[in-house]
Amino acid sequence: MARTLITLKSLLDWRQPGGLVSAGGHAAVLIVGLAAFSTAQPFTPAQESAAVDVISEREFNELVKGDKKGEKKPEPALRVDRVAEIRKENDPGEAKKDVAAEPARAEPPKAEVKPEPKPLPESKPLPEPPRQVAALPPPPVRPPELKPVVRPPEPKPQPEEPPDEKAEIPTPPKRPDPKPEPRPEPKKEDLAKLLEQKQLEEKRREDEKRREEAKAAEEQRKAEEKRKADEKKRAEEKALADRKAREEREKREKDAAEAKRLEDSIRQRLLTSREAPSSTGATGAQVSRQASLGAENATGRRLSPSERSQLIGLLTEQMNRCLSIPPGAIPRSKPIVALTLARDGSITTGPTLMNPRNEPGYMPYAEANMRALRNCAPFRIPERFLAMYDDWKTLNIGFDPSEMQ
Amino acid sequence: MPGAEAQVDLSLVTLFLHAHFIVKLVMIGLAVASVWSWAIIINKSIALRGIAKSMDEFEDRFWSGQSLDELYRGLVNKTNDGFAALFIAAMTEWRRAFEGSGRGFASLQTRIDKVLDVSISREVERLESKLLVLATIASVGPYIGLFGTVFGIMTTFRSIAASKNTSLAVVAPGIAEALFATAIALAAAIPANIFYNKFVRDAGKIQGRLESFADEFSAILSRQIDERAGAVQNRGAA
């Protein structure tokens, strides 16, 4: 107890200020701690980083080109229905081991078997190989299917198509046709009869020459008979024509019904067909979902490698007119010169030597080339390159010294 | 004072108030230990610096050619530490030998050595006093804090088991409280350990200086004793 008192007293001793200082310091630390830890900082939800693409100036120009309000069109793409088969070329020595069958190989002969172009939807899934084998027998059956296609040349169905709707219209023109034909036939018979009648009448006339009073009556009767015969003949003719027309119509209707039935069966067959489309479609690297019209697009055109070398060749060819290389300045390295061209073929920036070296003859050679570039400055650039201006705006041209020798 | 800050949630005071009773005791004990250790650290560093300074001053005066008697008279009525304490103790013994009839020369050297040894050990004891407290806080403090943490986590798990809820919102405050005990313990123990090492080394250095001074002073006094003894014998012979 006494010790504790001494300790406490020593804490308040001026010569030993440790106790006071320590207590004060701890109080200060406590206050600072209270301030610092007064509120726990809640975790801020991690912000998702924004993806940033770094693009060159040219890409930016190509990107901006176009109408602001214009809708985005898909990239121009070739029409591709199925992915082109990639033939695996094995080393001859490895052929024994790797005998991977090429699945696409089995299909083409099948396509040859079916020459008939079917207008089936292309989206139809290809059937499995076994089904294909099962489907192979049909080809012999198909020839009947060919009929409807070949049908047009056949004479019968040709009129058959219209009759369905215009059954009445074609008949009238047909009627006059049979009329003139049957007329001579009945005439011969009637004429014979008439001749007989006439002969009889003549005999009767000769016989009853005297009865001339009766002649008028006779003539009247004759006219009557004639009229009657005419009427009869006409009736007969009409009946014949009617019969013929009826027969023809029946035949036509029968043909039409048969054709319709055939057509229906073909349609049914086509609709329910599970066969692979006989069209193998165009091939390409990947199936195109939607073939574009090949119209304008947001991205500008780029030079193809051949076009690029063509353009550089044009430039160097024009430049060579002004080129005079100091004798002996044939270095081993190839100087590369960068320059910026305007649309009209004039140089806007450069030419700048990209790879200066200390090699003997190198600098004179490079400078001669650059001088030639400057002197021949407005280059003629064919119009077809103007569309790709952004691509050839800045050019790096290498001057191969070995070509100079 | 704690009531005022209690309304601030998750503050140090809230952490303390929510803790278990034993953890609270541990925290209080550790806080007191921290205050105490810092008090010791401050006092000790002041004292050691003072002793080193006074020793330097005394050394200057001692070797300045001043008469030892004068030096003695100047220091005898003050509280002395370090070299001065040794010097006063040895000189008191010396003067006591000459106060009488001049006898007792024979064992004066031995007595002076003894007195010097005693005062050295007294001085060292004074230097090293309370360093043991620092050592204890430095070595045991973390264990006490760990005890508080373990106890806090224990109670946290018990409350998890009771509430059948393992969401972090339930677990976190308890663990924060528990870890607070370890934080206080480390805050107390780390400076205690650092300064304990420093003070032990300083005290050892001062002890070495005291011993070498004692040997030197003892040699000087022994020469004096021999001279005096020779003079007395010569006088006696004459």
Enter the ipTM: 0.70
Residue of B nearest to A27 (CA): B35
Residue carrying the six token digits 């081993």: A332
Q: What is the mean pLDDT of residues A370-380?
A: 84
| A24 touches B at CB < 8 Å | no
* CB-closest option in B9, B13, B43 to A18: B43
pLDDT at A124: 47
pLDDT at A8: 63
* CB-closest option in B35, B43, B46 to A26: B35
Among B38, B51, B79, the strongest candidate for a mutation testing the A interface, having the largest count of A CBs within 10 A, is B38
Decide if pLDDT at A88 tops 70.
no
pLDDT at A166: 43
Task: Provide the mean pLDDT of chain B.
Answer: 83
Q: Which residues lie closer than 8 Å to A123 by C-beta, 6 or more apart?
A: none
For β-strands A283-284 and A347-353, DSSP reports them as unpaired
Q: Which domain holds residue B38?
A: 23-237
pLDDT tens readout for residues B122-135 = 988 988 888 999 99
d(CA B9, CA A39): 7
Name the strand (E) or helix (H) holding A186. helix A184-207
pLDDT bracket for residue A254 (50, 70, 90): very high
* CB-closest option in B35, B42, B44 to A17: B42
Answer with the residue of higher pLDDT: B161 or A180: B161
Q: How many structural domains are present in chain B?
A: 1
Contacts of A23 in chain B (CB under 8 A): 35, 39
Asked which of A29-43, A87-101, A333-347, B164-178 is least confident by mean pLDDT, the reply is: A87-101
| A33 touches B at CB < 8 Å | yes
- Residue B123 is assigned to a structural domain of this protein: yes
Nearest in space to A218 (alpha carbons), one of B172, A209, B107, B218:
A209
Contacts of A26 in chain B (CB under 8 A): 31, 34-35, 38
Query: Quick one: what percent of chain A has pLDDT higher than 90?
Result: 9
Inspect the interface and report whether the beta carbons of A16 and B47 lie closer than 8 Å: yes
Answer with the residue of higher pLDDT: A100 or B46: B46
Asked which of A253-267, A283-297, A378-392 is least confident by mean pLDDT, the reply is: A283-297
Cβ–Cβ contacts within 10 Å for residue B177, how many? Answer: 25
How many Å from the N-terminal Cα to the C-terminal Cα in chain A?
112
Q: What is the mean pLDDT of residues B143-166?
A: 87
Inspect the interface and report whether the beta carbons of A39 and B9 lie closer than 8 Å: yes
Q: What is the mean pLDDT of residues B31-37?
A: 91
CB A360 within 8 A of CB A326: no
CA of B83 vs chain A CAs: smallest distance (Å): 21
Decide if pLDDT at B55 tops 50.
yes
Q: What is the mean pLDDT of residues A111-118?
A: 48
Decide if pLDDT at B208 tops 90.
yes
Decide if pLDDT at B175 tops 80.
yes
pLDDT bracket for residue B212 (50, 70, 90): very high
pLDDT bracket for residue A277 (50, 70, 90): low
Tokens of A305: 């490698």
Tokens of B215: 């040997």
pLDDT at A288: 61
Contacts of B47 in chain A (CB under 8 A): 16
- Residue B6 is assigned to a structural domain of this protein: no
d(CA B113, CA B89): 10
pLDDT bracket for residue A248 (50, 70, 90): very high
- Residue B13 is assigned to a structural domain of this protein: no
d(CA A130, CA A341): 63
Q: DSSP string spanning A258-326?
A: HHHHHHHHHHHHHHH--SPPS----EESS--SS-------SSPP---HHHHHHHHHHHHHHHGGG--PP
pLDDT tens readout for residues A124-180 = 444 444 444 444 444 444 444 444 444 444 444 444 444 444 444 444 444 444 444
pLDDT at B41: 92
Q: pTM for this one?
A: 0.43
d(CA A330, CA A360): 9
Tokens of B86: 């040794």
pLDDT at B100: 65
pLDDT bracket for residue A12 (50, 70, 90): low
- Residue B18 is assigned to a structural domain of this protein: no
Ordered domains of chain A (ranges, CATH): 143-272 (no CATH), 305-403 (3.30.1150.10)
* A:B CB pairs within 8 Å: 54
| B20 touches A at CB < 8 Å | no
Asked which of A172-186, A290-304, A319-333, B158-172 is least confident by mean pLDDT, the reply is: A172-186
Q: DSSP string spanning A199-216?
A: HHHHHHHHHTSS--HHHH
pLDDT at A189: 67
Contacts of A30 in chain B (CB under 8 A): 12
- Residue B11 is assigned to a structural domain of this protein: no
pLDDT at A363: 84
| A380 touches B at CB < 8 Å | no
* CA distances to A133, A142, A148 from A137, in Å: 8, 10, 21
- Residue B201 is assigned to a structural domain of this protein: yes
| B32 touches A at CB < 8 Å | no
- Residue B2 is assigned to a structural domain of this protein: no
Tokens of B80: 């002395």
Answer with the residue of higher pLDDT: B87 or A210: B87
- Residue B10 is assigned to a structural domain of this protein: no
Decide if pLDDT at A241 tops 60.
yes
Decide if pLDDT at A108 tops 80.
no
Query: Quick one: what percent of chain A has pLDDT higher than 70?
Result: 60
Question: How does DSSP classify residue A396?
Answer: E
pLDDT at A346: 85
Task: Provide the mean pLDDT of chain A.
Answer: 71
